[in-house]
Amino acid sequence: MRLDSNLQDRQREERLVGARAIVAGVLVLAALSLVVVRLVRLQITDHEHFSVLSQDNRVKIQPVPPSRGLIYDARGVLLADNHPSFSLEITIEKVDDLPGTIAALAQIIRLDDKDRERFEHLKAQRVRFQGVPLRLNLTPEEVARFSLDSYRFPGVDVRAELIRTYPLGELTAHALGYVGRINTEEIGRIDSSDYAGTRFIGKGGVEKAHEGLLHGQAGYQQVEVNAHGRVLRTLESKPPIAGRDLHLYLDITLQRAATAALGEHRGAVVAIDPRTGGVLALVSNPSFDPNPFVEGIGGQEYHALLYAPDKPLFNRAVRGQYPPGSTVKPFVGLAGLAEGVVDTRKIKYCSGAYRLPGQSHNYRCWRHSGHGGVALEAALIQSCDVYFYDLAHELGIERLKHVLGEFGFGARTGIDLAGELGGLVPSKEWKEKVRKQLWFPGETLIVGIGQGAFMATPLQLAVATATMANHGHFFQPRVARAAQVPGAPQAEDLPTVSHVIDAGDPHRWEQVIHAMTQVVESPRGTAKGIRSRDYRIAGKTGTAQVFTLGRNQAYNASQLEEKMRDHALFVAFAPADDPRIAVAVIVENGGHGGTVAAPVARKVMDAYLGGSTLIAEPEAADGD
Amino acid sequence: MAIRPGAAGSHRLNDPTQSGLLMRLHIDAPLLLGLLLLCAFGLVVLFSATDQDLDAVERQLVRLTLAFGLMFAVAQVHPYQLRRWSLPLYVLGVLMLVATLLVGDVGKGAQRWLDLGVVRFQPSEMLKLAVPMTIAWVLADRSLPPRLGRVFAATVLMLIPVLLIAKQPDLGTAILVAAAGVTVLFIGGLSWRIILMVAAAAAALAPLLWYRMHDYQRQRVLTFLDPTSDPLGTGYHIIQSQIAIGSGGLHGKGWLLGTQSHLEFLPEHHTDFIFAVIGEEFGLTGILVLLSLYLFIIYRGLSIAVNAPDTYGKVLAGGLSLVFFVYVFVNTGMVTGLLPVVGVPLPLVSYGGTSMVTLMVGFGMLMAVQTHRK
């Protein structure tokens, strides 16, 4: 009986466990079918979708920046170079704890206050998701040390890139400009695909004006990356097209000579080859070292440069607008001849002052005792104001402005150098529009002697002088002569723009030029001190008033503070009969053009033409 | 128990799968074959998942060899002995769990390891076997189906270690230990009424459970519900494993050619997420092969349970087979995004030794049940 019941129990158990095993088996199959249905959905239905995602995960397109074109001077001296450098960059958007990260980085690489300061400065103007450099020029040891620990620093990368350097530093800063990091304002202007992978762009000078030639075209690489973004291999690539090398007209020997000639003076020298419009030298003194600007200058350092009393960042050669003073007289003279208002024999009488018909106001000549009767040549040699008052009056402001405009005054010359300003030749329209006042006939007179609202840059003066030297053939000034594809056998000349000023009789150019030679050669000439035995110079002195004197006050340089003193100007070209160089010099607060500015021009011409540097002791010449 | 096991079951000795020699060596040939095929497949995948790290594959092979050895050793033990050791093993396991909570090492933010000087040991692994053994011991004392009192006693015995493990906190293992107890009860004939009642109660208590969870556990549940809510944080695993599996398609990208795993987009690709590597490199085809191997092993386990000569053997074998399935389901469900992420390895394929040893000892018990007939 007991055995029976046991047997019954056993059979019941067998059935129970058997049934449960079957139920369990069904449940197992049901659960696994769930998994399989899910897998079919992932691997069959949505396969395409996930394939794309997987591909996106592993393939990244990386831009390959082109190397920037190099810049050479006229004789092949390298002025702008690229050198490889490692910098440590932080992508701020990818870093959670920035101060902590920087503190930890400071443990393995050297970070000084300057680095931190520059970092803060650049951080403020960064482009989102672009690295901000914390340290520049890492040593190979530092790169190695960081690489070992790089896993600890997500969002921090070592970047190898070509950094622009300017071997001659201050000497070329104002002519070349510099490249710097693309800022948020610039990012909107540029074609972002062209600048993919490049963080530098020309910020001024030739670097900015020829950005299109120098930059080149970005290439790309399709690379396979792992989850940490490390590149494993290249799948496909299109190489970048390197930027073109530029060959300049600029002659670094002359540039150096011009800088030396200015010495400690604040001022500018622009030298142009009249035959081409090529800029041989472009100096603005004082200058600055452009190299720190490339990777981002520290705030304090920048501040110091920006607010230095001598304004080293200010490019006087193309942005400095000064009243041209008497240097404008040859051009006004030519306008008179060209318009038939005067001829060379026409004599005007200078009593020391000039009165407009029916007016009582006295327009004074710089020589209060007057020059007596003077024709054009004598008026130029002695810089007689009264002659040019009358000439300007007869020409009228419209004709005067037109001819001066042909020489390049009153508008940007269009030089291939960024940041140029256009100066100003005042006119009726200008005055009515800007000052909301009527034009007085007396203002025409002031324009005739290059004072008042009349403004010109040293570059404009050099261009006008070169045009004069060239008998009216005006060339738009160019700094870059030719561009060369790296590796190409020859450089291609860049286009030039020119026009010809019609003076009617070509002889009129000779007449003005002859008068200009007499400025230097005549014993009464205002620049007689710079006469050279080796070649003939044609020039004109000038003085730009900084401080307007009261009606009956006498100008006494020694009594004025330096900053109040007149600017000394001088324009010249040489050799007078076959001009190869035209120079404009301005020495700020230098006083008199003939004694201060003219010797600078002479030294520049000597350096270029190979003359002797003997200059007669500048006399305390009178005149303007 | 008046009748010794084996006496009543002796008529099953003419089972065609049992040859004399293997029977004497206490080896179940179909189960062994299934396990060998599975482990071989696992090693091939592991070679790829570890980025062709032969050393890692070798270490895994050594572990497997040891685990197989352990399985053979356990297979020699008569189920009668297993039944006698059930309770002592269980008590020892629970004591060690308590010790772990008091002095255990903290690994990955949870106290799971007990340092015994020579080896670091996870007592919770031991409970994965001790719990089903003890519950089988409770049920086997009387004939099946169990009365309510025994079900209650078994439930209490199960919940003690489950709660201790959950407190470490190790939700994954706690669930698996609970599953090990529940499967034994289920095979043992737990009445459907109780099953339904518990299911209903669990549904009602689920919100309560939410408040008891740790933040990281809640995060996992939230991420499971919407992985894209935190694509770089906790959702990253799920998103990347689905990309891996989905991009594998029907035939896969080929062995060693899975980009998701080799380029390290897929985290934990040689441990908990190795299933995604199989999906990526071998496609749906490869996964179906793998699942067939698992199914075969589970089928063999269940048939061992059905054919077992005594109650203890039946419920233990059935429970162990089903809990093996739970492992498979929890892991594959997690990797495919069906279930929330809990740290459960893919049995016998994932790299690592702890769970492998537990599983193989379990299979040793299955073989013991199958081959000890006297």
Q: Which of A18, A24, A35 shows the shortest C-beta gap to B333?
A: A35
CATH of domain A252-293+317-480+496-609: 3.40.710.10
- 3-class SS at A466? helix
Q: Which of B3, B264, B305 shows the shortest C-beta gap to A228?
A: B264
CA A28 to chain centre: 78
User: Of residues A137 and B137, which shows the higher confidence score?
Assistant: B137
Q: Does A18 touch chain B (CB under 8 A)?
A: yes
Quick check: B299 and A25 CB within 8 A? yes
Residues of A in contact with B299 (CB under 8 A): 25
Q: Which residues pair with A283 in a beta bridge?
A: A269
pLDDT in tens, A209-218: 999 899 988 8
Q: Which of A18, A32, A55 shows the shortest C-beta gap to B291?
A: A32
CATH 3.90.1310.10: which residues of chain A? 61-248
**Residue B213: predicted pLDDT:** 74
B95 vs B85: CA distance, rounded Å? 15
* Residue tagged active-site, from A326, A383, A427, A532: A326
**Residue B1: predicted pLDDT:** 37
| Nearest-by-CA chain A residue for B306 | A18
**Residue B286: predicted pLDDT:** 95
Q: How far is CA A432 from CA A166, A376, A518, in A?
A: 46, 32, 40
> Which residues of chain B are modeled with pLDDT < 50?
1-14, 16
The H or E element containing residue A196 is none
CATH of domain A61-248: 3.90.1310.10
pLDDT(A432) > 80: yes
Quick check: A35 and B338 CB within 8 A? yes
| Nearest-by-CA chain A residue for B308 | A14
**Residue A85: predicted pLDDT:** 85
Quick check: A57 and B260 CB within 8 A? yes
B7 Cα to chain A: minimum distance (Å) = 12
Q: What is the mean pLDDT of chain A?
A: 86
CATH 3.40.710.10: which residues of chain A? 252-293+317-480+496-609
Quick check: B337 and A38 CB within 8 A? yes
| Nearest-by-CA chain A residue for B325 | A28
A518 vs A536: CA distance, rounded Å? 10
**Residue A570: predicted pLDDT:** 94
Residue with tokens 């073989």: B367
- A284 in active site: no
- 3-class SS at A343? coil
β-strands A245-248, A71-72: how paired?
Answer: parallel
pLDDT(A617) > 70: no
Grade residue A153 by pLDDT with cuts at 50, 70 and 90.
confident
Q: Does A11 touch chain B (CB under 8 A)?
A: no
* Complex-level ipTM: 0.88
Quick check: B318 and A10 CB within 8 A? no
Residues of A in contact with B2 (CB under 8 A): 2, 6
pLDDT in tens, A405-416: 999 999 999 999
Any residues with CB less than 8 A from the CB of A41 and at least 6 apart, and which? Answer: none
pLDDT in tens, A317-328: 999 999 999 999
A22 Cα to chain B: minimum distance (Å) = 9
Phi then psi dihedrals of residue B162, to 5 deg: -60, -45
- The pair of structure tokens assigned to B143 is 């004939």
Mean pLDDT over A121-128 rounds to: 76
pLDDT in tens, A223-270: 777 776 667 777 778 888 889 999 999 999 999 999 999 998 999 999
Grade residue A610 by pLDDT with cuts at 50, 70 and 90.
confident
**Residue B228: predicted pLDDT:** 62
Which class for A468: exposed (0-12), middle (13-18), buried (19 or more C-beta within 10 A)?
buried
Contact B268, B234 (CB under 8 A): no
**Nearest-5° angle of CA A556, CA A560, CA A565?**
85
Q: Which of A7, A17, A224 shows the shortest C-beta gap to B318?
A: A17
Report the candidate in B364, B357, B363 with the shortest Cα–Cα distance to residue B63. Answer: B357
Mean pLDDT over A39-44 rounds to: 92
